Amino acid sequence: MKEPAMPRQIFVNLPIRDMARSQAFFRALGFAFNPQFTNDQGACMVVQEDSIHVMLLVEPFFATFTEK
């Protein structure tokens, strides 16, 4: 008997330069943001509810995630 598949979540981190401009652009395309995970450093854009999210991170904050 197979075990039930675990729900999967995908979070993609993308660097951005201007938070307000980036959010306005993606809102104009019809995307929503989760305010619980959105501030001046990053914004959680919902691509597919409960499974796929894109984190828009201002470049200085994004740079703290990797040395590359």
Q: What is the pLDDT of residues 49-58, one digit of tens each?
A: 989 999 999 9
Residue 62 — φ and ψ, nearest 5°?
A: -60, -40
Q: Is 64 exposed, middle or buried (0-12, 13-18, 19+ CB in 10 A)?
A: exposed
Q: Find the mean pLDDT for residues 21-38.
A: 97
Residue 1, pLDDT > 70, answer: no
> Cβ(23)–Cβ(65) under 8 Å?
no
The secondary structure of residue 38, as a DSSP letter, is -
Q: Find the mean pLDDT for residues 12-33.
A: 97
Q: Give pTM, 2 decimals.
A: 0.84
